[in-house]
Structure 1
Amino acid sequence: MNEKIPVKNVAPVKVHKPSSADAAKSANRNRIYVRAVQGPLETFRRFFGFFFLALFALIPWIRFNDHQAVLLDIAEQRFTIFSLTLWPQDLTLLAYIFIVSAFALFFVTTFAGRVWCGFMCPQTTWTYIFTWFEKKCEGPRNKRIKLDERKMDWDKFWRKTAKQTAWVLVSLLTSLTFVGYFTPIDALFIDFFTFNTGFWAAFSVLFFAVCTYGNAGYMREIMCTHICPYARFQSVMFDKDTLTVAYDAKRGEQRGPRPRKLTHNQVKEKGLGDCIDCALCVQVCPTGIDIRNGLQYECINCGACVDACNGVMDKMGYPKGLISFTSEEALSGGKTHILRPKLLGYLIVLVIMIGLLLANIMLRVPLEVDIIRDRNTLYRETGDGLIENVYTLKILNKSQQTHTYTVAVKGLPDYRYTGEQTVTVDGGEVFSMPVSVATDAYNLEQAVTEIYFHVRTKSTDSGVVEVDEPSKFLYR
């Protein structure tokens, strides 16, 4: 107990603080004016974001078998995804989908940091769309700053009005498309613009339009830094080999301006690093952080600072990569280990969960039978001396095609069945009918006999589907 705990001296990290002028401009979070940047990462990020944006906009309009291919009808409690129809009874499939999504996010984050936030997150994509309209209406970063400092005049008024109009239109189209996943989209567009839509549909469109307008137009980085829970727990998945956007302090320090005519070797002789302290990496950051201060939870790994810094390094004649996607291990002089236990663990679990999801989809029976006993009378004796039980038989056709089913009873000898034995049920519909089963008391050896209602489709091109649903036949 008297053994001393070893103490390690850690040198304080020098934090680059903004100048007083920059601090005054950044005091209000709305004063983050993102500078446009060009580069391979930015091009790839735009392509990636707009690819999924195009999918989001087009999928509700796709038709499949004369119906909307993807329709998540909450009112009818029916989710249609092309040839697959999911019901509340298929909740396990939805749980598997969420689990697969979660482990895919864990795997990608452990490997490459918050690339989801920087390249695929809807908040990032819509924020870029809004800032693009802002740039087109109000000009580049410096002009936007000066425009906001000016008093209102005609030039400022029309520019602000044009920007706000574009924002409202994008928000409205986004909301209509989103709500179109939950209600038939063609009718939604027609009814909304002809003022014939229902209350809840109109309320949903306006509500999500306001949310889109507020999030992408004004909240922006607040969603990433204060509201989104992913920013808070991402560090749990990071390790020394995780690829993140990072600044090479050994190469960049001591930072400072210098004439371009100096060669790289002359700069080193003066004790300067490769960072010329131009602050472009801060100006292009959508969350307004300085990546030179080290890894920060606000960083969304968009790579904008990488492109900005590489452009400056090209102009100065220095090697690229002062800011890059790298790991803590590589920055300390080691070698990044791609295959490591933590990453492999996530991958194994992800593959297993994908396998279970696919197995559940493949083994899913597109037919469900529910038996409800008559609660008023346990059993009754008929005029010809038979013991009779009454049931309500419900047949749910979980497919999208119309099927004809035959009904029989198993487990009861010499029974008499009263009710329809052949029924036709449309795709996605529930057929309910009362039936009764009777038999002679001499056939009943105990008070409760377990029986099965056997429901079977007639032979089709997709094969035969049959279900045995258990129930009880009561006597005495």
Structure 2
Amino acid sequence: MTEAAPKVAIVKMYAAREEIYPREVKGWYASWRWVCVWLTQLVFYGLPWLTLNGRQAVLFDLEARKFYIFGVVLWPQDFIYLALLLIICAYSLFLFTAIAGRLWCGYACPQTVYTEIFMWIERKIEGTRSARMRLDKQPMSAEKFFKKSAKHAAWGAVALWTGITFVGYFTPIHKLMGEIASFGLGPWEWFWVLFYGFATYGNAGWMREQVCKYMCPYARFQSSMFDKDTLIITYDKERGDPRGAGSKSGGRANLGDCIDCSMCVQVCPTGIDIRDGLQSDCIGCAACVDACNIVMDKVGSPRGLIRYSTENGMKDKLTVPQIRRRAMRPRVLIYSGILVVILAAFFGSLLTRTPLKVDVIRDRGAMGRELDDGSIENVYRLQIMNTDEAGHRFRIKVSGVDAISLASPDIVELGATASRGVPVQVRVPQGKAQKGSNKIVFEIESMDERHLEVHEKAVFFVPR
């Protein structure tokens, strides 16, 4: 008797994409998704057109190395604020995920937002889910060619405008539009407009759920931030199973509330069946919740067969108030506390920062030199940056050694958000300073705003 040949299992690291045709759904969560779409896009498309003090309100001018964020002007020396902002975003994501799962993914992620916009365009041009499926199965015809061309033209227009807006955050938008109108756009600007536009077109129009499944790392490590009290999209198996079609009076007495209509699958943008349990592909958009609630209303069953709940909530049959109370657990409190501290430090530092920065650079050509009258002279370069929106006149003073004085002009005038290197000659009479290094202090103060001043330490060198 021969042994049976061992079975060979083929494991594919990447599954070929099957076209997903999400059905349109209306409901509470769908409305909130569209609120997020409108809010995020009004901010993104609108901010570059806002002006403040005669300039673009939000502009990241890489060429001039200045970041304008409304009334705040940041320089490369303010990199710490960018680091704090990234930390705030990270902890916010941790906090929201610990409380409500993939809340960001389902409502505010750019991939979700632009996919929602592109699917809306698709429905307006090609029709409902069943109409789109029929259209794709048909051979090429004049009608199909027209609809497909119109859809891709509309997608391309949205994507191109998105690319232009993105570049408008780095090149003044009015200047950018003028260059586009006159075909005078630079090569790098053309590159980023087309690159960002193509990325939007490809991700939201073609790849869609593939980005969430395979490209986004968040789907892979989100489970490490979940626990049994994290809000997730859940299917109530105890209430819904066993599934079956029909009405209660027509032989469904022994069946659950789920009529196996598959509406939850048809509306899912990633094509999963939430009834199989929580999956990494679920983005938490709650489209299945809206769809199931509509079906439950039609068949006369209570809503909430698919709902936001927690693992403990489902197991222990907790009420909504009990689930909310359990949300305030140690992990959430720790994340919240850290986030509050970082936010306080960020805004406190930002609001109290002095719009005057000074760097003292010694002349490396000579440590110190003796003049004809016996006095000692050191040469410095003061890099003065006025980050204020108004110009100022500054007075330079020096102290720390007896009879120390400036041998160069002590008045410097700087325009708004300007930087200037100022050569400064400092002299000390013979015998007034010890040989070697002596600590001195440069004082730079505004002549029109007395509170605007900076003290910078330096070293005065006397040859031995």
Give the TM-score, by structure 2 length.
Answer: 0.93
Give the 5 Å matches for 1:28-427. Answer: 28-258=16-246, 260=247, 262=249, 267=252, 269=253, 271-335=254-318, 336=323, 337-427=326-416
Q: Find the residue that maps to 2:249 and give its secondary structure.
A: coil
Q: Find the residue that maps to 2:283 and give its secondary structure.
A: coil
Structure 1 portions without partners, runs of 5+? 1-26
| Letter of the 1:474 counterpart | F
Distance 1:358 1:64 in 2: 21
% identity of equivalent residues: 44
Q: Name the counterpart of 2:3.
A: none
Deviation of 1:372 after TM superposition, in Å, equals 1.5
Deviation of 1:440 after TM superposition, in Å, equals 1.7
The question of whether the paired residues in 1 share the 8 Å contact of 2:408 and 2:424 is answered with yes
Structure 2 portions without partners, runs of 5+? 1-14
Deviation of 1:433 after TM superposition, in Å, equals 2.0
The Cα offsets for residues 323-347 of structure 1, whole Å up to 9 and x where unpaired, read as 0011111111243212111111111
Aligned length: 443
Call closer, same or farther: CA 1:159–1:28 in 2, change over 3 Å: farther
The question of whether the paired residues in 1 share the 8 Å contact of 2:434 and 2:462 is answered with no
Distance 1:228 1:280 in 2: 26
The question of whether the paired residues in 1 share the 8 Å contact of 2:400 and 2:440 is answered with yes
Call closer, same or farther: CA 1:217–1:30 in 2, change over 3 Å: farther
The Cα offsets for residues 250-290 of structure 1, whole Å up to 9 and x where unpaired, read as 111001111x4727xx63x3x21111111111110001110
The question of whether the paired residues in 2 share the 8 Å contact of 1:458 and 1:464 is answered with no
Call closer, same or farther: CA 1:403–1:234 in 2, change over 3 Å: same
Give the 5 Å matches for 1:411-450. Answer: 411-450=400-439
| Letter of the 1:55 counterpart | V
| Letter of the 2:45 counterpart | A
Deviation of 1:394 after TM superposition, in Å, equals 1.5
Q: Name the counterpart of 1:471.
A: 458
| Letter of the 1:296 counterpart | Q
Q: Find the residue that maps to 1:142 and give its secondary structure.
A: helix
Deviation of 1:97 after TM superposition, in Å, equals 1.1
Q: Name the counterpart of 1:22.
A: none
Deviation of 1:194 after TM superposition, in Å, equals 2.3
Give the TM-score, by structure 1 length.
Answer: 0.91
Deviation of 1:419 after TM superposition, in Å, equals 1.6
- Greater alpha carbon shift after TM alignment, 156-165 vs 199-208: 199-208
Deviation of 1:454 after TM superposition, in Å, equals 0.7
Q: Find the residue that maps to 1:262 and give its secondary structure.
A: helix
The question of whether the paired residues in 1 share the 8 Å contact of 2:398 and 2:405 is answered with no
The question of whether the paired residues in 2 share the 8 Å contact of 1:30 and 1:218 is answered with no
The question of whether the paired residues in 2 share the 8 Å contact of 1:192 and 1:202 is answered with no
Q: Find the residue that maps to 2:316 and give its secondary structure.
A: coil
The question of whether the paired residues in 1 share the 8 Å contact of 2:237 and 2:275 is answered with yes
Distance 1:201 1:437 in 2: 46
Distance 2:234 2:425 in 1: 74
| Letter of the 1:257 counterpart | A
Deviation of 1:390 after TM superposition, in Å, equals 1.1
Distance 2:133 2:25 in 1: 17
| Letter of the 1:390 counterpart | V
The question of whether the paired residues in 2 share the 8 Å contact of 1:115 and 1:301 is answered with yes
| Letter of the 2:402 counterpart | P
The Cα offsets for residues 41-72 of structure 1, whole Å up to 9 and x where unpaired, read as 10121112211111111111111111111001
TM superposition outliers: structure 1 runs of 4+ over 4 Å? none
| Letter of the 1:467 counterpart | V
The question of whether the paired residues in 2 share the 8 Å contact of 1:110 and 1:237 is answered with yes
Q: Find the residue that maps to 2:288 and give its secondary structure.
A: helix
Q: Name the counterpart of 1:15.
A: none
The question of whether the paired residues in 2 share the 8 Å contact of 1:106 and 1:237 is answered with yes
Q: Find the residue that maps to 2:431 and give its secondary structure.
A: helix
| Letter of the 1:279 counterpart | S
Deviation of 1:30 after TM superposition, in Å, equals 4.6
- Greater alpha carbon shift after TM alignment, 157-166 vs 42-51: 42-51
Q: Find the residue that maps to 1:71 and give its secondary structure.
A: strand
The question of whether the paired residues in 1 share the 8 Å contact of 2:160 and 2:193 is answered with yes
| Letter of the 1:372 counterpart | I
The Cα offsets for residues 349-390 of structure 1, whole Å up to 9 and x where unpaired, read as 111111111121123121111122111111112122211111
Deviation of 1:294 after TM superposition, in Å, equals 0.3
Counterpart check, 1:453 vs 2:426: no
Q: Find the residue that maps to 1:157 and give its secondary structure.
A: helix
Deviation of 1:232 after TM superposition, in Å, equals 1.2
| Letter of the 1:273 counterpart | G
Q: Find the residue that maps to 1:332 and give its secondary structure.
A: helix
Distance 1:66 1:34 in 2: 46
Distance 1:248 1:261 in 2: 18
| Letter of the 1:183 counterpart | T
Q: Name the counterpart of 1:24.
A: none
Q: Find the residue that maps to 2:390 and give its secondary structure.
A: coil
